[in-house]
Chains A and B, each alone.
Chain A
């Protein structure tokens, strides 16, 4: 059984359309970030969040009214399935308060407000209090981790393949990170620690498909030295199209299960992965190879000359396996 029998789509012809489409999505995401601000969760901004479980059904409005008088802007949401009667209350970082004693004050006041409002009895299932120092530290480390990961993967691909491929792969990965962020904006997800973990995972995963295509491009370049690079790339994309879709598909299925059944706490993570996997497949087919071609053409003027693996193949024989055994 095959999804694509002898697929022969002209992906390269559509590369500019694809790039424009991606830019539009990313620009919309960035515009939203500028207007609304980056929706960082309390892991990064500091603040408090409470999950309380009521003994009887309560409407969210009643909970909202109960905590309305507290300083700052509270967020009140259903947590998990309504039958669990869990409500999430998020309180902003209290400004001008000293750390330490103030850390738990916001949450204690919120609990008192709930008791005073005559709501059914409740117990606190989860309490997260994050001070601004921790948040700022995590922000820095999160950005550092994503950037280092991108750089390390670029270097690895640069060593294993060649520079233009590495740039293509990394632009595609960066594209996935930005598109994922844009969709987090569209669907109003907060950027929590878990979401950043998912984004980092995406940086490692989305480059996988790209590696598969590039491996095939390299293999094909050896047998078709006279064809222009763009044609070789297009053939390679088509030859590997089936496995690109299937590998993304299996990952998508498992993440979908996580999204549907994994519970409230992992929803942001699962959503990020869902978007990232789809974007990763799209960018592999349309963006990565397009960038690799554009760069190769600009660099050498003559695509063939730069396209052939040339001297680097023999150069690396020593520490690499025989070329024949290297492509999928």
Chain B
């Protein structure tokens, strides 16, 4: 009996020691959430349709090319949605089908009068969407790292196409948001004609009908406004780009010939070869450097260019941001912000202070009540609450679980709800004492009979907490995890620790009939 007791006390001492060691000093070991530390929490949606549209557009262009070269007649071939396209006016069906066989690996074909319509296979589309989000995630990770934020979080979130970005301690939220979101798709395309002073003027020059392989793009946006479509320069450019977003090898800060800020970029090996023959074939023609759908600059091709180029006519800030975005690669699709939560550091500080005050006040109230109501045995409960909190803090630091503002609430609830188990046990012991079988028997019966009640109550609380974990966003998850750890360690403290303390007291008395309860 004595040996057993010593073993139990040793175990408790080890658990307490490990817990304290894990979270001391708390300012370094307990991780704080954005709502306590300050920072910005962003949720983005990747417009995966963009990537599907690129796939469909490319297929359409390739098919048009193949058919034209093979001499298969058709009247029209066009994309009708991001995942669908249609071919019309076919004469020679057999010839068409041999030439267009490729498209069927990705698209389901169905017959129409004089043609076919294609729809992307659902599994291919899903896979493409998934890859797009993964790629976007990796790109954002690189950009966030370039921003130099400590301990950022970039992760998939909620629905299939959402990404969560958490940046602790970021002060310039707007810049961070722009950098994360800019697609950074660099294109080099031939210019048909331009610049024109307005969209209307540009259309007029073509009698309102642009060539099928060309489109109208605005020049650099004026002023510092973001997202606006105002521009005083419009260009009619080819739809096809000589390079794609992932052809870029590097980008770095540079200066143009007038010592103004510029971004120098270099192309990857295979892109450089392609670009070399492209420029060679088009010497003397103007070429546009297009970034995210805006014509940044236009230069006449003087000779064969292989692997490098320059974006000029930008401000210093634009240069810095473009280097970050271009270096980290293009996003496969554009993105939207769905949610933004920014907490200033001073509010976080105040929240921490309020949380500590409330925890201490809650602890004090419960301790006073237990000491008043259960006298000396109340001390037993107090020790078990304190050990419970120490284990909770220790596990939170060790796992680690981020302490959030709702997590503080979970911490305080652990005090009030944790002591319930002690109350159930003490009340049962009181009842058993009334049957006058002696204190030892009463304590044993108290713990044994209440055990399954405690299991049942904890399981029902755990069910709710687990669903909370599943439902919640960051801060709420912090609450749920705190609650779950608190509930589990409560089983240990209210049953094991508390019982050990009872036995310690009883072991010193031979014929105990009474307890201070």
Contact = CB atoms under 8 A, between A and B. Distances in A.
Are A and B bound to each other? Answer: yes
Interface string B393-431: 000000000000110110011011101100110011011
Contacts of A269: 406, 409
A1 B336 contact: no
Contacts of B460: 153, 156-157, 204, 207-208, 211
Interface string B115-151: 0000000000000000000000000000000000000
A9 interface: no
A204 B465 CA distance: 7
Interface stretch (B71-79, B206-214, B252-260, B347-355): B347-355
Contact of B461 (A131, A204, A256): A204
Interface string B424-443: 10011011000000000000
A187 to B, nearest CB: 19
Contacts of A326: 449, 452-453
A243 B423 contact: yes
Contact of A160 (B361, B363, B456, B473): B456
B337 A100 contact: yes
Contact of B365 (A149, A256, A324): A256
**Chain B interface residue bracket vs A:** 35 or more
Contact of B412 (A51, A205, A255): A255
B357 interface: yes
Contacts of A124: 342, 344
Interface string A138-154: 10011011101100110
Given A80-B350, A149-B467, A254-B365, A260 B452 contact: no
A134 B339 contact: yes
Contacts of B390: none
B403 to A, nearest CB: 13
Nearest to B364: A257
A19 interface: no
Contact of B341 (A101, A129, A250): A129
Contacts of B173: 127
Interface in A43-80: 51, 53, 80
**A137, A194, A246 — which one has the most chain B CB atoms within 10 A of its CB?**
A246
B342 A253 contact: no
A273 B413 contact: yes
B168 to A, nearest CB: 15
Interface string B321-350: 000000000000001111111111011001
Interface string A217-257: 00000000000000000000001101100110111111111
Nearest to A256: B365
B467 A200 contact: yes
A205 B354 contact: no
A39 B139 CA distance: 39
A138 B471 CA distance: 8
A113 interface: no
Interface in A310-328: 321, 324-328
Given A126-B347, A265-B351, A326-B449, A201 B413 contact: yes
B483 A201 contact: yes
A270 interface: yes
A76 B374 CA distance: 47
A263 B350 contact: yes
B472 A193 contact: yes
Interface string B472-484: 1101100110010
A325 B357 contact: no
A253 B416 contact: yes
Given A250-B416, A325-B448, A325-B452, A201 B347 contact: no
A99 interface: yes
B412 A103 contact: no
B461 A205 contact: yes
B451 A325 contact: yes
B461 A128 contact: no
Contacts of A127: 173, 340-342
A123 B355 CA distance: 23
Given A100-B337, A153-B460, A261-B358, A328 B467 contact: no
A240 to B, nearest CB: 8
A125 interface: yes
**Chain A interface residue bracket vs B:** 35 or more
A128 B365 contact: no
Given A160-B456, A266-B408, A328 B428 contact: yes
B449 A328 contact: yes
Contacts of A134: 43, 158, 338-339
B450 interface: yes
Contact of A145 (B350, B362, B470, B475): B470
Contacts of A141: 471
A123 B340 CA distance: 17
A142 B449 CA distance: 37
Contacts of B374: 1
Given A134-B43, A263-B354, A325-B448, A153 B463 contact: yes
A169 B382 CA distance: 30
A62 to B, nearest CB: 22
A138 B456 CA distance: 30
B340 A254 contact: no
A84 interface: yes
A133 interface: yes
Contacts of A278: none
B456 A246 contact: no
Contacts of B158: 134, 137
B417 A131 contact: no
B457 A211 contact: yes
A229 B408 CA distance: 43
A262 interface: yes
Contact of B416 (A153, A160, A252): A252
A212 interface: yes
**A104, A152, A208 — which one has the most chain B CB atoms within 10 A of its CB?**
A208
A250 B423 CA distance: 9
Contacts of B35: 265
Contacts of A246: 373, 423, 427
Contact of B373 (A1, A157, A251, A273): A1
Given A152-B463, A254-B362, A103 B337 contact: yes
A58 B416 CA distance: 39
**A1, A99, A211 — which one has the most chain B CB atoms within 10 A of its CB?**
A211
Contact of A261 (B361, B419, B427, B470): B361
Interface string B360-396: 0111111001100111000000000000000000000
A263 B354 CA distance: 6
B420 A156 contact: no
Interface of A: 1-2, 51, 53, 80, 84, 86, 99-101, 103-104, 123-131, 133-134, 137-138, 141-142, 144-146, 148-149, 152-153, 156-157, 160, 193-194, 196-197, 200-201, 203-205, 207-208, 211-212, 215, 239-240, 242-243, 246-247, 249-258, 260-263, 265-266, 269-270, 273, 321, 324-328
Interface of B: 35, 43, 45, 158-159, 173, 227, 335-344, 346-347, 350-351, 354-355, 357-359, 361-366, 369-370, 373-375, 405-406, 408-409, 412-413, 415-417, 419-420, 423-424, 427-428, 430-431, 448-453, 456-457, 459-465, 467-468, 470-473, 475-476, 479-480, 483
